[in-house]
């Protein structure tokens, strides 16, 4: 965060603030002094980071569905933000197999509604200057390559979730070309970008069918964790890593506009793309007594065997680098959940980890 006071008094609009990433982003932006208006459905899990951290005290919250175009547009108009961070989504692969229509409606139409709300509000005189649309590393047409995907590689997505996020990327590109064209930036004044992150972990995630939440639930119930794809390789990173990328990207968009209106990868270094089983094994050792697991491969639903990101573009052009390696991420994640079990002040725990992250330096060779 090269300009620590940059976000002070900036008006920020966040969609999906009640989710895992959205709650962490809200806490961080509040810590940086931003004035936040947020729009989302109710917290998706019980418990939730949003609820236990009392994040609702940090912002103006409107509970609404991203598919409700009228309410979204009106809420955004009332907030009159400088920048929008769009995180609202149906974020689970397995859920997308169960409810594909809802997944597409939220992830595709929701993106259209956000972009259209920006366009319509600016036509009415608002001054929204930037959008960061958060998608996923799974938006690529995965060929099971051993090397990382770059932003110029083809989009695809095998399952409904991944494919819907590829659609969200295409919609973002379409609006950028059709309504927020960089060549006409002086006319519309809006810079829009998309951000593709790796597999995030961190304290406060209770989503179903996600690795660390499943670990926590199993350990608390003194039952073995069952992992279905032990050999799958993923680009693991602490949730603060991509959020630092989103914040830096948002800063660049507001400062320099169209130069950064593009798609961006935010993932870990190559050595932190590891197997599911290796991550579970390390988390078990950090947790201690009662932490055991077993493997039961389940091939009924397709999952990519390997996925990596090439983040050279963000490093070279944005000056972004990951700060915590995977082991540091797992140490902080285990510490967070243990603090929760000890009934500590979880907002303060989040703030403390954010401060530690901000004070960290790029440690990779």
Domain count of the fold of the chain: 1
Looking at the domain assignment, is residue 35 inside a domain?
A: yes
Domain of residue 114, residue span: 11-298+306-359
Q: What is the pLDDT of residue 21?
A: 98
Looking at the domain assignment, is residue 2 inside a domain?
A: no
CB atoms within 10 A of CB 343: 8
Q: What is the pLDDT of residue 149?
A: 94
Strand 83-86 with 199-201, pairing: unpaired
Looking at the domain assignment, is residue 1 inside a domain?
A: no
Q: What is the pLDDT of residue 174?
A: 98
Residues 351 and 196: their CA atoms lie apart, in Å, by 25
Taking CA atoms, 339 is separated from 168, 221, 335, in Å, by 37, 17, 6
Helix (H) or strand (E) holding 282: helix 276-287
For the question of whether the overall pTM of this predicted structure is more than 0.85, the answer is: yes
Q: What is the mean pLDDT of residues 47-62?
A: 97
User: Which letter does DSSP use for residue 231 in this model?
Assistant: T
The pair phi, psi for residue 323, each rounded to 5°, is -105, -35
pLDDT in tens, 282-316: 999 999 988 999 988 766 565 666 788 999 999 99
Residues 348 and 66: their CA atoms lie apart, in Å, by 30
Q: What is the pLDDT of residue 198?
A: 83
* Residue 96 in this model has a pLDDT that exceeds 70: yes
Residues in Cβ contact with 241 at an 8 Å cutoff, skipping those fewer than 6 apart: 197, 200, 266, 268, 322, 323, 324, 329
Q: What is the mean pLDDT of residues 83-107?
A: 96
* Residues 241 and 201: beta-carbon distance below 8 Å: no
Looking at the domain assignment, is residue 287 inside a domain?
A: yes
Nearest to 23 by CA among 165, 199, 204: 204
Report the CATH number at residue 200: 3.40.50.720
């Amino acid at each position: 965060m090269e300009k620590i006071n940059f976000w002070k008094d900036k008006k920020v609009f966040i969609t999906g603030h009640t989710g895992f990433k959205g709650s962490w982003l809200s806490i961080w932006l509040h810590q940086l002094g931003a004035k936040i208006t947020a729009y989302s459905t109710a917290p998706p899990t019980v418990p939730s980071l949003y609820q236990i951290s009392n994040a609702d005290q940090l912002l103006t919250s409107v509970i609404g569905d991203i598919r409700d175009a009228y309410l979204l547009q009106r809420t955004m108009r009332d907030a009159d933000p400088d920048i929008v961070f769009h995180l609202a989504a149906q974020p689970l692969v397995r859920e997308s197999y169960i409810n594909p229509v809802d997944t597409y409606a939220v992830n595709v139409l929701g993106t259209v509604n956000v972009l259209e709300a920006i366009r319509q509000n600016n036509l009415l005189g608002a001054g929204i200057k930037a959008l960061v649309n958060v998608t996923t590393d799974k938006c690529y047409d995965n060929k099971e390559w051993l090397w990382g995907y770059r932003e110029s590689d083809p989009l695809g997505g095998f399952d409904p979730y991944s494919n819907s996020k590829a659609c969200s990327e295409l919609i973002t590109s379409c609006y950028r070309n059709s309504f927020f064209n960089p060549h006409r930036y002086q006319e519309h004044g809006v810079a829009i970008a998309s951000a593709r992150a790796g597999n995030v972990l961190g304290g406060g995630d209770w989503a179903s069918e996600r690795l660390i939440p499943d670990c926590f639930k199993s350990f608390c119930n003194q039952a073995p964790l069952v992992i279905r794809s032990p050999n799958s390789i993923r680009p693991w990173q602490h949730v603060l890593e991509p959020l630092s990328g989103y914040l830096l990207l948002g800063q660049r968009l507001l400062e320099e506009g169209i130069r950064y209106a593009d798609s961006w990868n935010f993932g870990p270094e190559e050595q932190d793309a590891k197997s599911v089983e290796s991550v579970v094994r390390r988390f078990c050792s950090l947790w201690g007594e009662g932490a055991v697991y077993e493997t039961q491969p389940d091939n009924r639903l397709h999952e990519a065997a390997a996925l990596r990101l090439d983040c050279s573009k963000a490093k070279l052009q944005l000056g972004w680098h990951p700060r915590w390696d995977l082991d540091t991420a797992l140490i902080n994640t285990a510490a967070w959940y243990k603090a929760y079990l000890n009934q500590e002040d979880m907002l303060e725990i989040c703030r403390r980890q954010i401060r530690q992250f901000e004070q960290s330096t790029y440690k990779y060779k």
